[in-house]
Structure 1
Amino acid sequence: MYIPTKYLEEDWEEVAYLIKNYPLATVVTSFGDEGIIANHFPFFFKEDKETGKKYLIAHIAKANHQIPSLKENDDVLIIFQSHNTYISPNYYPTKQETHKFVPTWDFASVHIKGKSKLLDDFDFVRSQISALTDQQEADRDDPWKVTDAPEGYLKVMQKAIIGLEIEIESFQCKYKFEQGMKRKEVDGVIKGLADDNLPEVSNLTVTANARAEIKNAEKQ
């Protein structure tokens, strides 16, 4: 992934934030005559406290054509992306004076490379479904639990899916939210996004620039 230095994010906590808050990822593999294959799966992140190894876990349909390329594959690419949006030149206060601004597009993304394996294991799949469900339901007043569904029904549904585990090997992370612009312009973008009812991207712009300011201060 192309990442100018000002947009480079090396803090794992920011990667974990993207995985948790934007769990639907694009999974890219290559397999024989099919060539490049891409599908979209929601993942749950887990870490082995004893070994420190990090994993992405999911479940996928047994009928999915990508399954053969996910069996013991050491070269899988997983892409997570935040909310993203067009940035209007009108957000920049100085635009009214100079008109020397053009549109851009702001987003955060992480590319993870890892080793995949499939697990046709009842307990693994049930645990993954429960973990992801609990994460996504956590902020609801009356969170739904997997155990709310009849066990017989769950078992029938579960027969159609298989577990996927990807051991994380490396990552590249990009947070592109106006870092490097003058504070006046950054504040204009933050306000413009909020006014346009894009609070998620506005908040990401706030936090990304706060981290950039701390990094710059540490260098001085």
Structure 2
Amino acid sequence: MYIPSQFEQPDIEVMHELIRNRPLATLVTLGANGINANHIPLHLEPAPEPFGVLRGHIARANPLWHDLASDVEMLAIFHGPDAYISPSWYATKQEAGKVVPTWNYAVVHAYGTLRIIDDAVWVRAQLEALTQQQEAAFPEPWAVSDAPEDFTGKLIEAVVGIEMVITRLIGKWKVSQNQPPQNRRSVVQGLNAGGQSEAAAMAALVDAGVNHVG
């Protein structure tokens, strides 16, 4: 991934936060027929340091778990907020007109070797951890144990576990850092005026940069 220096995100905890908030990963692997991409929610555990480990599960029918090139690095991509940025929002547009559209986004790339875990006890623990994380915000969180044991047992038999200890973690936050403060402030206003949740999330990232700099 190409990362100009002003867009590099070096903070591991900030990258971890994006992974926790946006756990649906694009998992890119190499198999016998070439590159594959699967979309799988992955649960992050911070240990082992420094980057942590990602755990998830896939359908037993998915060829991914028995079609992996041995000892080849895999890539899990986590997408944060993104938004189109109109040049009409820039405060400097009135001064010279030298402005163009762009797209803002935040993304994390996690690298490591994928390990397959065909173990029902492990899979159940992974399901419980992922469910607890996602259900935590609800007033009455659902738990795996709420479903009948024989029902969940059959479902667990139909999946296999996956685990990737992260060996490299790269973050790119393209959130208008290359613009002067007045343009960043006007971008925040433009994003918030749209009333869309994704735009508001991006506005918060741009606003954090404005506050940090100015």
Question: Under a length normalisation based on structure 1, what TM-score does the superposition of the two structures give?
Answer: 0.89
Aligned AA (1:48):
A
Pairwise CA distance, 1:70: 4.2
What is residue 188 of structure 1 aligned with on the other side?
186
Q: Distance in 2 between matches of 1:70 and 1:79?
A: 18
What is residue 153 of structure 2 aligned with on the other side?
155
| Residues 81 and 109, structure 1, Cα contact 8 Å, conserved in 2 | yes
Residues 123, 207 of structure 1: alpha-carbon distance in 2 compared, 3 angstrom cutoff: farther
What is residue 92 of structure 1 aligned with on the other side?
90
> Structure 2, unaligned stretches of length 5 or more?
none
Runs of 4+ in 1 over 6 A off after TM superposition: none
| Residues 29 and 69, structure 1, Cα contact 8 Å, conserved in 2 | no
Pairwise CA distance, 1:63: 0.7
Q: Number of matched residues?
A: 211
Aligned-residue sequence identity (percent) comes to: 37
| Residues 28 and 78, structure 1, Cα contact 8 Å, conserved in 2 | yes
> Structure 1, unaligned stretches of length 5 or more?
215-220
What is residue 130 of structure 1 aligned with on the other side?
128
Superimposed CA distance per residue, residues 102-123 of structure 1 (whole angstroms, 9 cap, x where no aligned partner): 1100101111110111111112
> Which residues in structure 2 correspond to 1:100-139 (within 5 Å)?
100-139=98-137
| Residues 175 and 208, structure 1, Cα contact 8 Å, conserved in 2 | no
Q: Distance in 1 between matches of 2:154 and 2:206?
A: 45
Question: Under a length normalisation based on structure 2, what TM-score does the superposition of the two structures give?
Answer: 0.91
RMSD: 1.8
Residues 23, 107 of structure 1: alpha-carbon distance in 2 compared, 3 angstrom cutoff: same
Q: Distance in 1 between matches of 2:51 and 2:190?
A: 41
Aligned AA (1:203):
A
Note if 1:146 corresponds to 2:147: no
1:165 pairs with one of 158, 163, 166? 163
